[in-house]
Amino acid sequence: MTSIAPARARTDGATREQVIERPLHAAEVPWTIVVWNDPVNLMSYVSWVFRRHFGVDAQTADELMIQVHTAGRATLAHGNREHMERHAEAMHEYGLWATVERAPR
């Protein structure tokens, strides 16, 4: 998965390691997959989909499901666009309302 952590100079004890910054290629611009609240899908079903597809544990899945329900949306993953589009297709296959969004900068 593409990291969205900023490139920066780091000091690790005695050794000083310079992280070289390079411009991101367009294909690396981080994207996210967002699942939106809907009034139809059951909470038990949404939580099960999150466990099955994203491989999260039951507690994390429940927390993400509650976040979808109360905040209206939750971000389930981030990475390159092609990867996020595959997640979107899978979510739509499960009947969940999901969109690919640019990661906030």
Partner 1 sequence: MRITVPTDDPALVGLVHVEPEEARILVSLADQLQALLADALESPVDDDSAVRRVLPDAYRHEPELADEWRRLSRRGLVDRKIGFARTLSTALAPVADEGIARTVPLTMDAALDWVRGIGDLRLVIADRMGIIVDGDEGAFAEPGLRDVYDWLAWMQDGIVQVLEVREPDAHPAAGGPS
Kindly list the residues in this chain that would bind partner 1 in the complex (CB under 8 A). 1, 32-33, 37-42, 44-45, 48, 50-56, 60-61, 64, 69, 75-79, 83, 85, 87-89, 92-95, 97-101
Q: How far is CA 35 from the centre of its chain?
A: 9
* Distance, CA of 32 to CA of 85 (rounded, Å): 9
End-to-end Cα separation, the chain, in angstroms: 17
Backbone angles phi, psi at 39, to 5 degrees: -85, 5
In whole angstroms, the minimum distance from the beta carbon of 28 to partner 1 comes to 15
In whole angstroms, the minimum distance from the beta carbon of 89 to partner 1 comes to 5
Q: Which of residues 9 and 92 has its CB atom nearest to partner 1 in the complex?
A: 92
